[in-house]
Structure formats: C-alpha cells, structure tokens
Structure 1
Amino acid sequence: MCTADSARGLEPAGTETNDRRRPFPDTPTCAIGSRPMPTTSSPTRSVVIATFATVMLAAAVAQGFGRFTFGVVLPDVREDILGGSNSLGGFVATANTFAYLVGALMVGSLSAKVSAVNSVRIGLLFSVGGLAAAAAAPNTAILTLAMISMGFGGAAIWIPSPGITSAVVAPHLRGLAVGLTGSGVGLGIIFSGQLNGRLVANGGGWRDVYTVHTVIGLVAIALVFLVLRQRRSEAQPAGGFGGFAVLRTLDGWKPIIGCYFIYGFGYLLILAFLTSRLQDDSGFSESAASTIFAVTGGCTIFGGVALGRISDIIGRRWTLVGSFPLWAAAVGLILTGELALVIVGAVIVGFLFGGIPSVIAAYLVDRTDAATYGPSYAAATFAFGVAQVSSPQIGGFIADWRGSFTLVFVMSAVVMSSGALFAWALPSGS
C-alpha cells in the first residue's frame, strides 16, 4: 500500500502550479479506484505509467486479439474448417459480437456489485481461455465457442478500462487518456497482422497465431492481478438493467447512443472483411493484405490519442461530426483497389477506428464520475453491440450473394455517413 508521501506531486519542492493544468488529479490513490487519500498530492509517475501499460495490454487482449485477429486469419480459417463459406465466417464473427453484447448487459447490470478492476480480471480469464480454445479448435463448433468466450471477456475488459485510466489524470486530459487506452487495441491489431504474415511465410498457420496470443494473455492476467488494486466504495448506484437507469440521466444520451450504434454497424463491415476484400477482390497477396491490415491497426494507436486530444480542444460534438463522413471517403479509396489509394484509405480507417470510440467514451467520462461511468458506458455499449451482432452476418451473406465484398464496403460508407446527423444532435457545448 502506498503512503501519502510516496504519492507526492511531480513538481520540484517549492514550485507552485496551476491545479487546472496539472496532469494528474488532486486526490490520488495508489490502489486504483480506492478511496482518495487525504492529500492534495498527485499519484507518482510510476503509478500512472503502470496503470496505463497494464490496461492497454488488457485492451489488446480483449479487442486486438479476441475480436480482430479473426479478421486477419479468416482467409485461412475459411479454407481450413469453414468449408470456404463467407456466411459461416460471418456467423462465427457474429457469435463473438453477440457474446460481447451479453457481456455489456451483464457489466452494466452488475456494476454495483463488481468493481471495475475485478471486471477486467474476470474478462481476461474468459478471453485467454477462448484464445487457447481457438488455438486447438478442430472444427467450427469449438471455434465458435472460443469466439463466444472471447466476446464475453472482451466486454468485461473494455467497458471499465477507460474509466480506470481516466481516473488517474486531470479532467482536461480525459480525452487523451481514453485515446491512449484504446491505442492498446491498435497495438494488438498491428501485432496480429505482422505475426500472421511472418508465421505463414515460415510455414505456420492461424492456430499458431492464437497460441502466441494465449501466452501474451497469460502475462496480461498476471499484470492485472499484480498492478491494479481496487477497493469498493460504500455508495455504488444501481445501474438498472444493462446500466440504462444511469445512462438516461445524462444530457444527450440518445444521440450519443445513435453515434455508437452507427459506428458499431459500419466499422465491423470493414475490419471483419478487409483482408478478404483485398485478397479476393483486389488480387493482393496474403502477405500484402496482412501488412495493410497491420497498417490499419497501427493508425488506430495514433487515432485514439489524436482524436481524443482534438476533442479535448474543439469539443466532442464537432470531432464526431467530421469523423463519420471522413470514414466514408476512406472506404471509397479502399474500393479503388489501387495500392497507393488503398494504403491511404486504410490509414484513415485505422485513424478513425481508434478515434471515434475514444471520443464517444470521453463524452461519457465528461458527464459521469467513477461510480456512474461503468453502467452508463455499458448501456451505450449495448447499442454498439446490437449493431455488431448484425453487421458481420449481413456482410458475409452479401459477399456470398454478390460474389465480392464491394457492396459490403459501400454499405459501410453509407451507414457511417449518417452518423454525422446523430453527432450534430449532441448538445452544442459538448
């Protein structure tokens, strides 16, 4: 347990600072989420760095590995155990997102009983178990069960994560904090894309990718138990079913849910089928498609940080109003099939893929506290999850029907453009 002296501020002795611009909050805790210590000092730099590093790794396992790796390895999985069916691939992806939806409901409903850190711990157990099962999956049924476990675990990890990290920084840096948290997902995507390409080039396969992810997941479990500590406060609001009782008290809750729903439907049509589109429709090699997917993941890292910080400056509303139409333009570039334009489009998609949800989460962080963030974000994530459940299945069906992914990508562009209307409806002071 840290003492008050060990958590003193970072400024040299005798130096006065403007509290509004201090990077860390005035009521620190060395045990994340525990009661504030009676001091005006800040948490040490090592506490903040350890918190961010641990939560970012957990986010990589939850989303980068547990959800988006399937899009990277889908071409090989499809030929190995899915009988070459895009529809079946969409079904497996849908099972993952449906489990994420169920997980979001449970996190919101149990927020008064399960702490944020314990939620992350439980989620990692499910996610890593699913990764291990996927590595050994002999057929579609086992792979589907593995994806369900990863989906449930992903919700339990990701939903409380932005609240954990934003709690150790000052209010004017919350957007940046949420963006940094989400950048862990981008790091996971980069790693998955590069790992798959290298393993395939050296005679490996998609099961080897999940095996490596399992080992990394075990490291994440150890770090979360060692680094993050949380003691429950006495007063925890009841979130109601799925957290909606808390969410409905927030200003602008309907349009922000609309933004998250649109994003959930539109982004997965691209991320789930990007490598398949590049290989099947544009004639890219497996290595080239994996590299471009990794580029998308790399830009996710910067997108969350950059858009989060931009929204700190110009506001969440205007940032979202501009982001949704930009996504549609990026998809248009990918559809050309020209390498240079595809790369530019992939860069923009990655940037917005990391940035848009970071801004949405920051909007909710602005309007909640440590006790109400979890249930409100869980409720918003439910709308996001509903959209995710339908989009992979629809995308896979359309691809089989049309014999290409062109219409799937066009649908993503059109749907995402409509998100600007919901963003415009947010309170003008957002």
Structure 2
Amino acid sequence: MRTANSWAAVVLVGLGAVVAQSFGRFTYSVLLPAIRNDLDHSNTVAGLLGTTNVLAYLVGTFVVASLTTRFPLLAVLRSGFAFSLAGIALAAVAPNVFVLGIALFSMGFGGALIWVPSPAIAAAAVGPHRRGLAVGAIGGGVGIGIVVTGQLARVARNRSGDSAWRDVYRIDLALGIVIVIAIVLLLRHSQNAPSRQRVGGAGFGILRQMPGWIPITGAYVTYGFSYLIAISFLTSRLEDDAGFSEGLASTMFTLVGIGAIVGGVLMGVVAGRFGERRTLVTGYVVFAIALAGVLTGVVGVVAASSVVIGLMFGGLPSVIIGYVVQNTSPEAFGPSFAAATFAFGLAQVTSPQLGGLIADITGGFTLVFVAAIGFALAGAATSSRLPT
C-alpha cells in the first residue's frame, strides 16, 4: 500500500497509538497523585496498579507473538481496541482500587495488541526508504496524546480536585471512540498470508535469527526500566519533593509530551545519518542527564529536562523499532518485535512497583530517579555492542 494516501495511513496508526499508549497507559501516570490521594495513600499500591497495567501488556505481547502468525496484522490491531476502550470505560467509573486494577489490566492487554503490529503497518504504507520516519511518526502520536492528557488532568484537578481523575478517563473514552471508528472505516493494510510458523518462546526463536538481537533487546529492556520509572513518578516527584503545584507538575508532564511529538522523527533522522548504535548510545546518555535535571527542582531546569525526556521517550524506542524493521522480513517482524517487547515488558512489570517501594521506604523520589538514571546508563553500555 504505497498510494497518495500512504501518510494518511501512518496518521491513523499514530492515532491508534494514542489510544493504546497515551490513554491506555500514560493517563494513569499523570493522574497517579490524584488517584493515590483519592483512593489510597500508599505509593506502593499506586506502583502496584501501574504494574498491573504493564503486566497485562506483558501477557498481551506473549499472545500477540502467536496471533501475528495466524491473523493479519490489521486484524490483530483492531482487536486490541476492544480491550483498550473497555478498560478506559471501566476506569471512568471505577469506585475503588480493585476495579481500577481490572481496568488498567484491560488497557494494558489491548495496548500490546495495538502497539506490536503498528510499526509494520506504518512502515509498509510508505515503503522501505521512509520506514524510520513512519515509525517515528507513530511515537509523535503518543506525544500528542500525552500533551492532551496532561492538560486535561491540569484543568480537571484545578476545577474539581483529586476526585476529578475519572473525568479525564471519560474524555479519553470519547476521543478514543472517535479514533477507533476512523481507523475501522479508513485504515487498510495489504500483506501476504500469515506464515503460521511456530514462534516458540514468545517469538524468541525467530528473534534470535536477527543480527544484533541481544544488544538491541537489552537496549529495549533498559529503556523499559528507565522511562517507566521516570514517567510514572514524574508528577509525584515534582509535587511531593520539589513543592510544585498540581498545575505546574502537570505542565511539566505536558512538556514531556511535546518533546515526544518530535522525538521519534528527529531520532529517526539522526539514526539514518549516524547509525543506530551511535544514536542509541548518545541518546541514553542524554536521557540520563535530563533525568538528573529533574532532581534539581529548579523550574527552568526541570522544564528543559522534561522536553529532553520527551525527546528520548519518543526517540529511543523509534530507533530500536526501526532497527528491528530493517533487520527482519515482513513475515518475521511480528513475532520478532513481540519477543523484544516481551523482554521490554518484563522490565516494565518490575519498575513501577520498584519505584513505589523505594519511595515509601525512603519517603521521597530522589532514589527512584537515581535508579532511572542508572538504567539509562546501562542502556548506553548495552547499545554500544550493536553491530556497526
């Protein structure tokens, strides 16, 4: 599918990523302080809820590794929306932590079914020479969703206090329904019949055939630890430790989204010029520096750091995904990327709970961000082992 409407397909896939990632995952991150204050006053419980979401994402990647060899990628993507929208709808009326946990699980599972096929669908729409740009544009969609969510959270909490977090999910649901209707009606993707090959071990049997699979998977895993700790607890760190107001903390989260809008495209262009290895090593080091900037608590430094965090948040996975796209066949991409995402998901299952536990033990979020910095530097070391 390489028509004049090819970029329209990329836009639609990017909007789907908004539902999967921005609404289904990162809305909880920006609302975490409000949800914690309204339902439960424990950072550990708040981290456990975040873990529930990413645990479902992990389960979803295991399932999607098999689904992509049996069903067309577009069919798998569409099926994910049923779970994501159902979870968002349940969160919009959740009366307690238990119900919210079920909602977050549904969102996480659906998010995996949407996200894993998305890069291949976008890349196929524009052809081989613009694959990196298309994959980066999907990350831009996630950034736009984060901007929207951050501003919705700021307005809702300013008007109605912490209990208004459900209103944000209600608006997410309305926007998500419109997006899904557009995708079902307009998005098309042609592919060969699924191979129906055995994927073995969540797709790792196929992933191991890709050159550099160990360092690129390691880079994805360390990204999972570092970014999710930072994103999950950014507003909590700023409100609880640095004394930022609710509105100012939400604005910083919005700046992360603004950076993410251009991060994927920017890093894709840089990787095309300097190679994935140099781009990832440099990106992880810059990410670590930006995370350290958050610890200063100085508004100007935090603002600049938030933008850079967004750039790396959108850019690093785009480079990683672009590497997998370029080094696998269309038939092998689904299970290969699912396997890499499964490893990435293992990191995500651990990181929110780890961050919440550290915060409760230490009474603050300084060491939480120190841990995120350590994982980012580990990502630079791992990426340095990629083939030239």
With structure 2 as the length reference, what TM-score do the two structures score? 0.97
CA distance in 1, matches of 2:219, 2:194: 31
- Write the deviation string for residues 233-281 of structure 1: whole angstroms up to 9, x where unpaired: 2351433331112111100001111000000011111000000000000
Indicate the residue corresponding to 1:344 in structure 2.
304
Which of 188, 196, 220 is equivalent to 1:260? Answer: 220
**Whole-Å separation in 2 of the counterparts to 1:150 and 1:330:** 29
Match in the other structure for 1:249: 209
Identity of aligned residues (%): 47
Q: Secondary structure at the match of 2:25?
A: coil
Aligned mates of 1:170, 1:50 — CA distance in 2 = 14
Shift of 1:420: 1.3
Structure 1 residue 232: Cα displacement: 5.6
| 1:59-105 Cα distance to aligned partner (Å, 9 max, x none) | 011001111111111111101112x1100000000000000000001
Aligned pairs (5 A) from 1:110-149: 110-149=67-106
Residue in 2 that maps onto 1:226 = 185
Q: Distance in 1 between matches of 2:274 and 2:224?
A: 24
SS at match of 1:340: helix
Instruction: Note the 1:193-212 alignment, pairs <5 A.
Output: 193-203=150-160, 205-212=164-171
Q: For residues 36-75 of structure 1, what are the structure 2 equivalents within 5 Å?
A: 42-44=2-4, 47-75=5-33
Give the CA deviation at 1:173. 1.9
Aligned residue type for 2:332: T
Residues 1:386 and 2:335 aligned together? no
Verify the 8 A CA contact 1:132 1:214 in the aligned structure 2. Answer: yes
State the AA in 2 paired with 1:252: G
Conserved 8 A contact 2:68-2:335 = yes
Secondary structure of the residue that 1:239 maps to in structure 2? Answer: coil
Residues 1:269 and 2:229 aligned together: yes
Which has a greater percent of helix?
A: 2
CA distance in 2, matches of 1:48, 1:172: 13
Identify if the C-alpha distance between structure 1 residues 233 and 170 changes in structure 2 by more than 3 Å, giving closer, same or farther: closer
- Could you list the per-position Cα deviations for residues 187-235 of structure 1 after superposition, in whole angstroms to 9, with x for gaps in the alignment? 1110000011112223261000000001111112212211123466235
Q: Distance in 2 between matches of 1:377 and 1:109?
A: 12
Mark the CA change 1:333 to 1:231 in structure 2 (over 3 Å): closer, same or farther: closer
**1:137 match: secondary structure:** coil
Looking at structure 2, the residues matched to 235 and 51 of structure 1 have their Cα atoms a distance apart, in angstroms, of 21
Amino acid at match of 2:183: V
The CA deviation at 1:49 is 2.9
Counterpart-to-counterpart distance in 2, 1:240 and 1:223 = 35
CA distance in 2, matches of 1:234, 1:257: 27
Greater CA drift, 48-57 or 409-418: 48-57
Aligned positions of 1:17-416 closer than 5 A: 29=1, 42-44=2-4, 47-82=5-40, 84-203=41-160, 205-230=164-189, 233-234=192-193, 236=195, 237-416=197-376
Counterpart contact for 1:60–1:184, Cα < 8 Å: yes
Give runs of ≥4 in structure 1 deviating > 6 Å: none
Question: Partners of 1:186 and 1:351 in 2: how far apart?
Answer: 9
Moved more, 195-204 or 47-56: 195-204
Residues 157-182 of structure 1, C-alpha deviations (whole Å, 9 max, x = no match):
11110111111223232211110011
What amino acid does structure 2 have at the position aligned with 1:64?
Answer: S
d(CA) in 1 for partners of 2:191, 2:109: 23
Which amino acid in the other structure matches residue 63 of structure 1?
Answer: Q
- Does structure 2 conserve the Cα–Cα contact (< 8 Å) formed by 1:323 and 1:352? yes
Output the CA distance in 2 between the equivalents of 1:214 and 1:285.
27
CA distance in 1, matches of 2:208, 2:145: 33
The more displaced of 300-309 and 222-231 is 222-231
Q: Deviations over 1:128-158 (max 9, x none)?
A: 1000000000011000000000000111111
> CA RMSD for the aligned pairs?
1.2
Q: Which runs of 5+ in 2 are unaligned?
A: none
Separation in structure 2 between the aligned mates of residue 203 and residue 400 of structure 1, nearest angstrom: 27
1:319/1:146 CA distance change after superposition, 3 Å: same
Counterparts of 1:195 and 1:49, CA distance in 2: 28
Q: What is the total number of aligned residue pairs between the two structures?
A: 385
CA distance in 1, matches of 2:377, 2:128: 30
Does the 8 Å CA contact 2:133/2:265 hold for their aligned counterparts?
yes
Consecutive unaligned residues of structure 1, counting only runs of 5 or more, are 1-28, 30-41
Q: Secondary structure at the match of 2:92?
A: helix
Kindly indicate whether the alpha-carbon contact (under 8 Å) linking 2:54 and 2:349 is maintained by their aligned counterparts in 1. Answer: yes
Amino acid in structure 1 at the alignment position of 2:6: V
Paired residue type of 2:146:
I
- AA paired with 1:56? G
CA contact (8 A) 2:70 2:194 kept: no
Q: Which has the larger radius of gyration?
A: 1
* Higher relative contact order, chain-length normalized (CA < 8 Å, sep 6+): 2
